[in-house]
Structure 1
Amino acid sequence: MDGRSGPLGELLRSRRQAADPRAAGLPASGRRRTPGLRREEVAALADVSVSYYTYLEQGRQQRPSAQVVDALARVLHLTPAERAYAHELARGTPETPVHEEVLAPGLQELVDRLYPDPAYVKGRWWDVLAANAAARVLFTDWCARPPSERNLLRWMFLDPEAKQVYVDWEREATAMLGRFRASAGAADDPRTRQLVADLLQGSATAARAWDEVRVAPIGGGQKLLRHSHIGEVPVTHVVLHAAEDLHQKLVVFTCSPEQRRRLAELAEGLG
Structure 2
Amino acid sequence: MGKRDLGAFLRSRRESRAPAAAGVVAGPRRRTPGLRREEVAALAGVSANYYERLEQARGPYPSPQVLDALAAALGLSAAERDHLGRLAEHAPASPEPAAEVPAEVRRLLDRLGPVPAYVLNARHDVLAWNPAAAALLVDFAALPPAERNVLRLSMEGGPLRCEPSGDGFTRHVASELRQAVARYPGDRRLAELVREFAAHDPEFAAHWREQELGTAAAVPKRIRHPRLGLLDLELQELRVPGHDHRVVLLTAEPGSASAAKLESLASGPRLRAVR
Cα distance change of structure 1 residues 187 and 59 upon mapping to structure 2, 3 Å threshold: farther
Cα distance change of structure 1 residues 139 and 252 upon mapping to structure 2, 3 Å threshold: same
d(CA) in 2 for partners of 1:12 and 1:201? 25
SS in 2 for 1:115: coil
Residue 267 of structure 2 aligns with which residue? 265
Q: Is contact 1:94–1:187 with CA below 8 Å preserved after alignment?
A: no
Q: Is contact 1:119–1:131 with CA below 8 Å preserved after alignment?
A: yes
1:178 aligns with 2:180: no
SS in 2 for 1:124: coil
- How far off its partner does 1:180 sit? 2.8
Residue 45 of structure 2 aligns with which residue? 47
RMSD of equivalent CA atoms = 3.3
- How far off its partner does 1:19 sit? 3.2
Q: Is contact 2:19–2:34 with CA below 8 Å preserved after alignment?
A: yes
SS in 2 for 1:185: helix
Question: How many residue pairs align between the two structures?
Answer: 264
- 1:210-251 Cα shifts (integer Å, max 9, x gaps): 11102122x5325253454165344362413054xx022222
Using structure 1 for the length normalisation, give the TM-score.
0.79
d(CA) in 2 for partners of 1:242 and 1:267? 33
Judge which range, 194-203 or 255-264, deviates more. Answer: 255-264
Matches within 5 A, 1:92-107: 92-98=90-96, 101-107=99-105
SS in 1 for 2:231: strand
Matches within 5 A, 1:157-236: 157=155, 161-163=159-161, 165-166=162-163, 168=165, 171-191=168-188, 192-217=190-215, 220-228=217-225, 229=228, 231-235=230-234
- How far off its partner does 1:166 sit? 5.0
SS in 1 for 2:236: strand
Q: Is contact 2:85–2:91 with CA below 8 Å preserved after alignment?
A: no
Aligned AA (2:245): Q
Judge which range, 140-149 or 99-108, deviates more. Answer: 99-108
Residue 26 of structure 1 aligns with which residue? 25
- 1:130-156 Cα shifts (integer Å, max 9, x gaps): 111211233333333332222123334
Q: Is contact 2:38–2:48 with CA below 8 Å preserved after alignment?
A: yes
Cα distance change of structure 1 residues 117 and 51 upon mapping to structure 2, 3 Å threshold: same
- 1:109-135 Cα shifts (integer Å, max 9, x gaps): 432332211110112322001111211
Q: Is contact 1:124–1:248 with CA below 8 Å preserved after alignment?
A: yes
- How far off its partner does 1:207 sit? 1.7
d(CA) in 1 for partners of 2:106 and 2:16? 44
Q: Is contact 1:134–1:267 with CA below 8 Å preserved after alignment?
A: no
Q: Is contact 1:119–1:135 with CA below 8 Å preserved after alignment?
A: yes
Q: Is contact 1:157–1:173 with CA below 8 Å preserved after alignment?
A: no
- How far off its partner does 1:62 sit? 6.1
- 1:40-68 Cα shifts (integer Å, max 9, x gaps): 22212221012321232233446433432
SS in 2 for 1:5: helix
Q: Is contact 1:117–1:254 with CA below 8 Å preserved after alignment?
A: yes
Using structure 2 for the length normalisation, give the TM-score.
0.78
| Greater percentage in helix | 1
SS in 2 for 1:168: coil
Judge which range, 56-65 or 42-51, deviates more. Answer: 56-65
SS in 2 for 1:232: strand
d(CA) in 1 for partners of 2:172 and 2:117? 19
Residue 59 of structure 1 aligns with which residue? 57
d(CA) in 2 for partners of 1:69 and 1:206? 28
d(CA) in 1 for partners of 2:65 and 2:197? 34
Q: Which runs of 5+ in 2 are unaligned?
A: none
1:85 to 83, 86, 108: 83
